Amino acid sequence: MSRRQSSRVVDVVEDVVIELSARRSRTVLVVVAVALSTGALLASLGISTTASQQIAGSLAASTLDLLTVQVAPVDGESVGTQQGRGKGLALGFPGDVEARATSIDLVEAAGLSLSVDRDETTAVRRSGDPREIPTPLLGATSGFMEAADAAQRPTTSTWLLDTSQAVVILGTSAAAQLSIPVSDDPSGHQVQIGETSYQVIGFVDAGRIDLSASAVIPYQKAVEAMRGDSRSQLTVRTAPGAGAPVAGVIRAAVRPDHPERVTSSQVASLSSLRQGVDTQLAQLAAWVGAFLFVLTCLLITNSMVVSVVARTEEIGLRRALGASRAGVSAVFWAEGLVIGFVGGTTGSTVGAVAVVAVAAANRWTAHIDPWFFVVGPALGGFIGLLASAYPAWNATRISPALAVRSD
């Protein structure tokens, strides 16, 4: 920057300081208004972040009502009393595991399931149709369907999953792909899975566990296909919020002889739930922020338009003395920038205090991003500049001849 340019910048800054300090009350009020608007904007973002963290945490506790239990396999061991016993199958889960699980207080349902797919999907085709549709294949008991809160139709045939008959419940989207109409009466429809023909006995939609794209066959058939239950898992649904205490005792209930081989983990898609909460609160904050942004712009614009009108004589005088249009508008741009920057800086502090106060009042943990203190001044300055556009343009349109005329 040349000496001449820097001298011009100093002149503009000096003008702004003189003008703002001459109208001290107005300046303070506008800066306070910008600070409150920017502070409210930043506080809404900060509070929503804090709230989402807190809500997600609370949800984590309250939605811990779905567990999965697995048993680490040991070669040659078979504790099962299911139909698989005696067929040379390696079984880690006792045959009465579902009864054991449901006997625990606060457990509402429990059932076994086993994914048959080694490559994630299995080719399934409708009988008489050569098209093969890759479909996730799951073996499950009726207890699993209950634990998963599966939205099934009809519900009367679910018990067939506890047999070893060749029956299948199709997920609704899997049925659509196979061109099988979803109805309460699936009789007459058959699908081919491998060499075996399976009779369709019902349909299932997305529930707590999404089975809509799957084909569900009796658990026993899956165990036979997989030569054991080493990849099986027991899904346990508890009363809301009871997941943690149940997880503490389930291992001993499933394998009292070897509880150390039993692992349990939370199943609910909590991360997606958290993400959903985050997204929705972020959207809410964005909308609130957008309204406040517009409000702040209008506030500064209004104040500066009033200022331009009040300073018509002064602007006209500057033009008469030879100030260019750009020179006149520069004063208003600079004023907007200064007001916005000071307001934004104050606002980020106000916002941070609000976030901490709200968090303290609700006994939450406050989450304040360090960028908060950069975003505030930058946002304030940007709003100030944006809001100055119209008043600055307006100022350049003032006719010097009219402004200095004496009536």
Partner 1 sequence: MSHPRRVTASPVLQLTGITKTYPTRPPVTALAGVDLTVQVGERLAVVGRSGSGKSTLLNILGLLDECSSGRYELAGSDTSTMSAAARDRLRAERFGFVFQDSHVLGHRTVAENIALKLAITRTPRRERPARITEVLEKVGLDHRREALGRLLSGGERQRVAIARAVVSDPDLLLADEPTGNLDADSSTAVLDVFDLLARRGTTVVVITHDLRIAGWADRALILDGGRLVADHAA
- Which chain residues interact with partner 1 by CB under 8 A? 4, 7-8, 10-11, 14-15, 18-19, 22-23, 313-314, 317-325, 327, 399-401, 404-406
Contact 267, 89 (CB under 8 A): no
Minimal distance, residue 371 CB to partner 1, in Å: 38
Residue type, 78: S
Q: How far is the CB of 24 from partner 1 (least distance, A)?
A: 10
Query: From the DSSP assignment, how many helices (H) and strands (E) are in the chain?
Result: 12, 12
CA 265 to mean position of chain CA atoms: 22
Q: Is the dihedral of CA 252, 254, 259, 263 positive or negative?
A: negative
Closest CA to 32 of 335, 299, 257, 263: 299
Phi, psi for 166 (deg, rounded to 5): -85, 80
**Among residues 20 and 191, whose Cβ is nearest to partner 1?**
20
In the block, which residue shows the tokens 């008489």? 128
> Closest distance between partner 1 and the C-beta of residue 42, in Å?
34
Q: In the complex with partner 1, which residue's Cβ is closer, 7 or 62?
A: 7
Looking at the Cβ atoms of 26 and 367, the one nearer to partner 1 is: 26
Distance of closest approach, residue 33 Cβ to partner 1, in angstroms: 22
Whichever of 232 and 307 has its CB closer to partner 1, that residue is 307
State which residue, 99 or 309, has the beta carbon closest to partner 1: 309
CA 126 from chain center: how many Å?
A: 38
- Minimal distance, residue 403 CB to partner 1, in Å: 9
Q: Between residues 96 and 313, which has the closer beta carbon with respect to partner 1?
A: 313
The rounded distance, in Å, linking the Cα atoms of 11 and 80 is 90
Phi first, then psi, for residue 238 (nearest 5°) are -110, 175
184 versus 313: smaller Cβ distance to partner 1: 313
Nearest approach in angstroms of CB 349 to partner 1 is: 30
Tell me if residue 351 falls in helix, strand or coil.
helix
Tell the smallest beta-carbon distance from residue 358 to partner 1 (Å).
41
Side-chain half-sphere CA neighbours of 171 within 13 A = 21
CB of 11 to partner 1, least distance (A): 4
d(CA 148, CA 38): 47
Of 251 and 318, nearer to partner 1 (C-beta) is 318
Tell the smallest beta-carbon distance from residue 392 to partner 1 (Å): 17
Q: Which is nearer to partner 1, 205 or 314 (CB)?
A: 314
Q: Provide the token pair at 31.
A: 């800066």
Shortest CA distance to 219 belongs to which of 121, 126, 144, 108? 144
Round to whole Å and give the CA distance between 157 and 116: 21
Query: Tokens representing 165?
Result: 């008959």
CA distance 399 to 407: 15
What's the rounded Cα separation, in Å, for the pair 316 and 295? Answer: 30
Residue 338 CB, shortest distance to partner 1, in Å, is 17
Would you give the end-to-end CA distance of the chain in angstroms?
Answer: 44
Nearer to partner 1, 295 or 317 (CB): 317
Amino acid at 285: A
